[in-house]
Structure formats: structure tokens, C-alpha cells
Structure 1
Amino acid sequence: MAKFEIIVGSVLGASEYVADALAETLSNHGHSANIHLLPNLAEIDQDAIWLICTSTHGAGDLPDNIQTFAQQIALQNLNKLNFLVVGLGDSSYDTFCYAAQHMEKTLLAAKAKLLHPALHVDVLNHPIPEEVAVEWLDNVLKSTQFDD
């Protein structure tokens, strides 16, 4: 089956829990997944499907652990890369899921292909974001053909 690289942007750990649940879901579907808590472009397989899982910090900022990675990919031509995005945020802020939107725009500008519309989880409506993220990924995996 397919290989996934889960790239995590996290401040307080919620994105890490979601990444773990997504990795388990991928495994249950016969896919492999590596989780990157301190992502570095040189260590991430560009032939795999990237699954960006990030929260938003401060005034719409990327979490500290993913900022350097975002700068690295902004300088690349990733026209062979396929990716998915899961963002976590709080809709009471006007910067709801800005980090996920930033990562999506950065990857699209690098010519990567978004395989499915991003999921933006509102933690006000989904206090356990893993549940909605797993449901979303199950649906993506059922509706999309992933090959090695």
C-alpha cells in the first residue's frame, strides 16, 4: 500500500494525539506512516504522501517546531509530491486554522498536489479532535486510490 509521512506542528500536544490516531488509522488500512515531531525536509521521504497535522499558535502562527520546515519547503519544487492537511483550531479566534492554511498554501506554491480538501477541526465543537480527524481520514482513504 502507500507510505505516508505525518508532519506535526504542535504547541500543547493536541496535534500529536491526532497524528498518533491518524497513523493508527493508516495502519488499519494497510498503509505505513512515519510521524515527524521535529520535521526536517532532509529526513522526510518526498515520494511518500505527506499528511500535515498542525495546530495554530498565537496570532495565526505556525507552531515553533514546524516553522523551519515551512521555510525549507517554500524554497522547493515539489511537483511530484501529494499531500493532505488536518488543522486544529478554535473558531472563536479570527485566525482559525491559519497555520494549516499557511502550510497548504506553501505546499501548493511549491507545486505539490492536494489530494483532498483540508480538514479544519474546531476544538470548540470537537473537544476530542482525534475522532473527527479519524472519521475524515477513513472517508479519504475509502474515496481515493493510494498506491505505492
Structure 2
Amino acid sequence: MLNRKRSERAPNSHSHDTSLIARGTLIEGHVRFSGALHLDGQIVGSVLAEEAGAVFTLSESGHVQGEIRVPHAIINGQVRGDIHATERLELAAEARVVGDVHYQTLEMAAGAQVNGRMSHPTAELPRELPAPALGNAEAVPA
């Protein structure tokens, strides 16, 4: 099994591939990934997942200056930009986010900080109060 080529693997096995960007590494530009991406270094640019099951992990030594668009994000470092997590967002205790956060499911540890709006999509429309009935109201003494 260790000598099997990528083309011989199961169709969804690429979702288990993990890429690591080590501490001390700076990437300037957009990063697109599939599977899992673990960032200990720094990215100046967007982080974009190319598949539904992708996971982005930002360690406490990691930094992103740009937008993050992924299904599942685990943030424990610094982000200067908006985060869009279509499935799940985990903000660990050392997370520092300056930007808007959009999530489907959120887990936020004590100590995590967000300086921006937090937005959860709602499936239902806002409810409106019924209009008051006119003409049936009794006069209230003053």
C-alpha cells in the first residue's frame, strides 16, 4: 500500500492529505488547498479550500493577513481578514481575529477574541409582529 501511486488510491483519499507550512515561512499570495492545511508560518493573501471536506488549522504561532474561505477552520493564531467557514469554525483560546466571521457552527473557547461582526446564516425569514386591529380598540382613560 505504501508504494501505490496517487491514481491508484481511493477517489476520496486526497481528503486525508495534509500540507504543513512551517514556522518562519512567509507566503505572499493566495493559497488554494485540498485535504488539510496546517499553518505555523504566515500567509499574506487568501486561504481557499478547493473541496467540501477541507480543514484549515492555524496554530498559535500562525498568521493570516487576508480572507479565509474553508468548510472547517480551527483558529488559534492571528487573522487580519474575514473568515468564511461553511461547515464549522473553532476559535481556540489564543485566536485573535480582526475581521468579520461567518460560520454555520461555532465553537469558541474562553480567551478567543474577535474584533468584527459575527454572522450566522438563518434559514428562516425574520418574523413580523401582526398589525394591530384598527377600530376594535377600546379607549383607554387618561
TM-score, length basis structure 1:
0.29
- Give the number of the structure with larger relative contact order, counting CA–CA contacts within 8 Å between residues 6 or more apart: 1
Higher gyration radius (CA): 2
Q: Give the strand-richer structure, 1 or 2.
A: 2
Q: Give the helix-richer structure, 1 or 2.
A: 1
